[in-house]
Structure 1
């Protein structure tokens, strides 16, 4: 197995653009490192194509008019990671105890290769041992049946298909709970709560085609170059036709500054670059609320002056009168905001906010793109609502080229919610499920991610089933969670590779390896396809063609179906075996449950560019209590949820250019100039001087949550970086150990990972 080991970390600043030769070199490096076969390399040609497979990383759309190579650097890494030539066999576990493996890095665990056999944890030897599939399913079901269904959690990673997710949610509800936390709980639940309250739908209103007609794109809290690089193509095209881009982010992420298209021979040969952002506002972590309030205040003041002078209005008063509610109360809040407080909380001069407001005031159609830099704060829901307020002020929802555009991470996390992976009854057609399958679905709210963590720690959660993901590594309160996990009665993880969650065993523990989305899935009726939903609410078919990593793997639907058969009493309305034998039957069931979203599902699933599931807010139909879009004023100007104090820093946890969520592909965060390590603390040079720190000095961070719990992250290398004063950056998930489980967004419970209160210990 090839490992990346570095004795001398390199922190040399990177001066190149996003994309370009750096991107090609990165792809060229990982393919041989992962021993990817020629067959697997050929699969890249099918990636994100209409009849190909949907990328297993981000949820950016599969366009109808595609490029010859419709994958980005991160997508190619994800494909290489899944189609690796390395294998983690039962012989590997015979040589290594779980206790020993806990000393391995996240990278080393996953890079060892694909799991090949179903595995049972043997407590006597502290090892996984191979077992038969029937044994696994029988034992798991037998261990779950005596438990109170309310004590069992069914977690779902955002990579699972619509078909698997529908089966999984149905199994949980038929078992007796809707404890269905998922990846959305950790990232975009603030979007689901904020948008639902404001415009009546929990998702964005725009589509890919809106990039062709917008004249301003505002991007808040999203590192596009690392997390959704294919989005740079429509952004660059928009810029070339004169569209402006305002980027609001604590770090000057390279993808939002400069981009060279790897698929453009002229740009590659001449080393040409496209400037993406026309304005970059380097806000303090948690200061986005203040920036948005400042823009709103300028708009209100200019509108007042225009109306007094008899000039054209700045605000869209006709839209506001016809389509919105709560405008007067919101404007009163805006008028009451003081300019010095706005400037202090934003951390940028008012002139920068004014320049952004002028760009917004003159734009006819505005898209507001955002990521977890808005959602992962204590006031993350208020961030989302304030973004909607800005759009409503000038009628920028429900017209071409305009609307909120949340960029999802996992490739089907939005789709899972569409087909029932949620802890919230109001998001599930309970009456329809009862009529369709003849059972009484639970109606009380289930456990979300934060509540699951509480339950694992206090012992009220007795079992966790994981449909993919790396739950224990992704959640906050790392030390307490790892200490409590072995007390579970049952721990079952469905996975393709080994990760840290698998190294903490409960009383009954199984590791069930599954086919990856890119691999050929043959069932009783022949080769199968699955479906996913992208960030713009379009549904796409996905067909794997690569040879499976092992003959002993089962598909995710097969695993869920086999477990459901043993766990649940027989139901004449569900033939789990038939569903597993022909996924089209699952899609028929989905269509019956959600007829407005999935009419003619099987016939339309491979529509080029996907088929849109519809969005009432995009039609200016507001499914809110008032029947109108709601102006919802924030309580304050900071999203952090804690007060500033002497020597207290705001820590942002970051993802590397060589990473997707908890999956670490390597140790080269190219855009930030970090190679050979992830133990880096990004800090403002002035803060370094004040703290009397030197470049390269080793320091620790300690939690400053004020709850009496000691949390510490040692061994961080001080590195001067262009980051706002009072803010620090360090890598996720390694720094989750510093985040209390109760440090989460109000209402949505999203862990507030973008502003964690810490102190620096030299």
Structure 2
């Protein structure tokens, strides 16, 4: 049974002046190592993390360099490793002491802190408890149920942590079953990138390499917080800043990782207390105001170029590139010229002077990288955000040359790779004809359910079953208040997981909880220890070898669990031997190579290439896979990406991660960089907004959804914290505040939940 301590918290709110990294990071690692009671083996594993012959971090998707640092892990990556290699265990005895009704009252932190799951479990409705079952019983029970459903009404969700091998098997199993409902965590975060970049430049992913940060002379940075979401990124940012690269930041909140960084691996900085300033300009744009800010820069550049042409001066724009490689410039330029500065300033929250200062940096730079994260993608107008950033880059030919290009920063460690090997609800993105010939079956050809469509199907009662490959789906999605009761109406829910989370405590009429090996652990199969592979944000493929002792002898690997479900559900297929694949993952990679010959040639031979092998991105060498054969310059639908109008008393809520968090996993209650300790019940507010409402720092307020659909959505008793954030905007923690967001509040075209601009009102707590 788990003896992990439940949370005990003392709330402290105080300003944090230290840099990202440094002693604060070191102290945090010591604290979590002690709390998880990790042993020498876990500490040894940290030396293998993100190394060419080691394991790929289970946290973010930042690149793995060919020549790594001595410690090639960050604070959050080390937390993820300690979290997975914790000494705590959740055995069947744990569930004998706790009902599901009790456990659902626990905090997210406490549920996962309980430890690693050790045995396959089935929910017993009579006792409201999970009880142990055998693997054979679980597979037979799941298979028997799945055979009774309409496959088009079964959801197969994939979290971004699963390997390429597992993801390929999962997508294939779902399609052989007859389902194209393959939502994944990309649907919740970067699907806007996939849709926006695909339509603009013909490639749905970033165009840069990791070493382009050594060649650029400017970085334009939008809506991404490296200190929390991808701390290893701080090292190349620091190196860029030290060699004089201008780093121009647009972000609603002042984030410490974009202000200053102290390298924990630099003894001189650690001893002296010195740090490196990161941003050369920091513009606190309104959440949802990025379209306007970028339009302002484009307007300045276009009009400056107009002036240069009139006086025979040096051009500001790259006309040779625009003429040869783009479509739509003239129409966009005319819109930019006609857009009034008053509208740009109002929608962005920035002054013309500040926007022009940023544009002047761009105008003089020869190689620019555009970095962005969910601060651009999670808006109703998220596609406009991505298109506008592409427009800016195209004006001076900053895509498809050394040191320049689009640099979206992905979250989960293999979220991009899953899409590469077929986890998609869109039939045109999967090689269905090849799969049909390769395995002798007819895959579904209709559009499946993405995350939003899956939620809608659950709300409507049309979904029959849910299978989850990792993740915490119900906690990550919007509108918890409406979704959670409906979730229990599903006939079958199956969760493949390492730790307990809230989604597991909303069982369908039949529910199985299947514990799996973690990526860091030894995966011993018939042919010996196995390796897996992942794809990073730079479209590079890496091998990963787990060597840690498994948390329990009763655990199965993800491929073994999928094979068990597939064999119990599907008819035998003479072209596919599931057991052979489980016995030797190299055979899965051989199959991936057959399905995707252009991307995975010599897959097994190249998977442990130092620095990974590149799958190739056509736009990176100016090959535009668009209908016109050129990069498209797009006109935005509006200067405001929020998707709702301003109104008296209405605020724009952006949901945030803390420093002690990765996605829905909460490692602790210390948001160090924002000075918050001991609580997540916080709302960050501008002091002028507080004064207008008669609020003081420390007051309690309720956040109330203001979507206009008459639904009652609220989060009670949030403590007001005065913070540097634009007027009319507030910040609060994800996933707790997802309850304020309707399922229908999502990005156009991509359907990504618009969590960075949610309409809310503020009421005093009574």
> How many residues are treated as equivalent by the alignment?
762
Correspondence for 2:335 among 313, 329, 333: 333
Q: Does 1:47 align with 2:49?
A: yes
Match of 1:544 in 2: 546
What secondary structure, in the 3-state scheme, does the structure 2 residue paired with 1:487 have? coil
Offset, 1:5: 3.7
- The equivalent of 1:490 in structure 2 is 492
1:64 matched residue in structure 2: 66
In the superposition, the TM-score normalised over structure 1's length comes to 1.00
Q: Which runs of structure 2 are paired with 1:188-267 in the superposition (5 Å)? A: 188-267=190-269
Deviations 1:10-36 (A, max 9, x none): 110101000000000000110011011
- Aligned counterparts of 1:301 and 1:119: Cα–Cα separation in 2: 65
Secondary structure (helix, strand or coil) at the match of 1:333 reads helix
Taking structure 2 as the reference length, the TM-score comes to: 0.99
User: CA–CA distance in 2 between the matches of 1:3 and 1:455?
Assistant: 38
1:663 to 662, 665, 670: 665
> Match for 1:609 among 604, 608, 611?
611
Q: Does 1:385 align with 2:390?
A: no
Unpaired runs of 5+ residues, structure 1, are: none
Show the 5 A alignment for 1:632-643. Answer: 632-643=634-645
Show the counterpart of 2:704: 702
The 3-state SS of whatever aligns with 2:513 is strand
What is the CA RMSD across the aligned residues, in angstroms? 0.7
Q: 1:350 deviation in Å? A: 1.1
Match of 1:574 among 569, 573, 576: 576
- Structure-2 separation of matches of 1:244 and 1:751: 32
Displacement of 1:98: 0.4
CA contact (8 A) 2:159 2:469 kept: yes
Deviation at 1:2, TM superposition (A): 4.6
Separation (CA, whole Å) in 2 of partners of 1:333 and 1:451: 35
Tell me, in whole angstroms, the C-alpha distance in 2 between the residues paired with 1:442 and 1:196.
23
Deviations 1:458-514 (A, max 9, x none): 111110000000000000010111010110010000000000000011111000000
Residue 27 of structure 2: which of 11, 25, 28 is its match? 25
CA distance in 2, matches of 1:101, 1:202: 41
Moved over 6 A (4+): none
Q: 1:479 aligned to 453, 471, 481, which one?
A: 481
Question: What is the CA distance between 1:751 and its match in structure 2?
Answer: 0.2
User: 2:102: which partner in 1?
Assistant: 100
Q: Deviations over 1:158-183 (max 9, x none)?
A: 00000000000000001111100000
The answer on whether the counterparts of 2:62 and 2:409 sit within 8 Å (CA) in structure 1 is yes
CA distance in 1, matches of 2:704, 2:241: 43
Equivalent residue runs for 1:110-509 within 5 Å:
110-509=112-511
Tell me, yes or no, if the aligned pair for 2:4 and 2:115 is still in contact at 8 Å: no
Q: Secondary structure at the match of 2:683?
A: strand
Residue deviations 1:689-733 (CA, integer Å, cap 9, x gap): 111112211110110000111101001001111111000100000
> Equivalents in 2 of 1:388, 1:67: separation in Å?
32
Cα deviation per residue 1:38-90 (whole Å; 9 max; x = unaligned)? 11111000000000000000000110010000000000000000000000110
For the 8 Å contact 1:4–1:666, the answer to whether it is kept is no
Q: Distance in 2 between matches of 1:9 and 1:297?
A: 47
Which residue does the alignment assign to 1:684?
A: 686
In 2 relative to 1, CA 557–354 (structure 1 residues): closer, same or farther, beyond 3 Å?
same
SS in structure 1 at match of 2:459: helix
What does the per-residue CA deviation read over 1:283-319, in whole Å, with 9 as the maximum and x for residues that have no partner? Answer: 0010111100000000011000000010110000000
Distance 1:687 1:327 in 2: 40
Structure 1 counterpart SS, 2:65: coil
Taking the aligned partners of 2:488 and 2:39, their CA distance within structure 1 comes to 38
Give 1:518 shift.
0.2
Is contact 2:380-2:643 (8 Å) kept?
yes
Instruction: Give me the whole-angstrom Cα distance separating, in 2, the residues matched to 1:683 and 1:212.
Output: 37
In 2: Cα distance, 1:4 partner to 1:692 partner = 36
Corresponding residue to 2:621 among 615, 619, 622: 619
Question: C-alpha distance in 2, partners of 1:348/1:506?
Answer: 49
State the distance in 2 between where 1:465 and 1:177 align.
12
Deviation (angstroms), 1:3: 3.6
What SS does structure 2 have at the residue aligned with 1:729? strand
Query: Whole-Å Cα distance in 1 between the matches of residues 233 and 42 of structure 2?
Result: 25
Give yes or no for contact 1:397–1:404 (8 Å, CA) kept in 2. Answer: yes
Q: Determine which of 513, 517, 531 is the counterpart of 1:515.
A: 517
Structure 2: gaps of 5 or more residues: none
Identify the range of structure 1 (563-572 vs 527-536) with the bigger mean alpha-carbon deviation: 563-572
Q: Deviations over 1:330-354 (max 9, x none)?
A: 1121112110000000001111100
CA contact (8 A) 1:6 1:677 kept: no
Q: Is the 8 A contact 2:10 2:677 kept in 1?
A: no
CA distance in 1, matches of 2:59, 2:169: 22
Once the two structures are TM-superposed, the CA of residue 8 in structure 1 deviates from its matched residue by 3.7
Q: Specify which of 742, 758, 766 is matched with residue 756 of structure 1.
A: 758
Deviation string 1:422-456 (CA, Å, 9 cap, x unpaired) is 00111111111111111111111100000000011
Partners of 1:635 and 1:524 lie apart in 2 by: 56
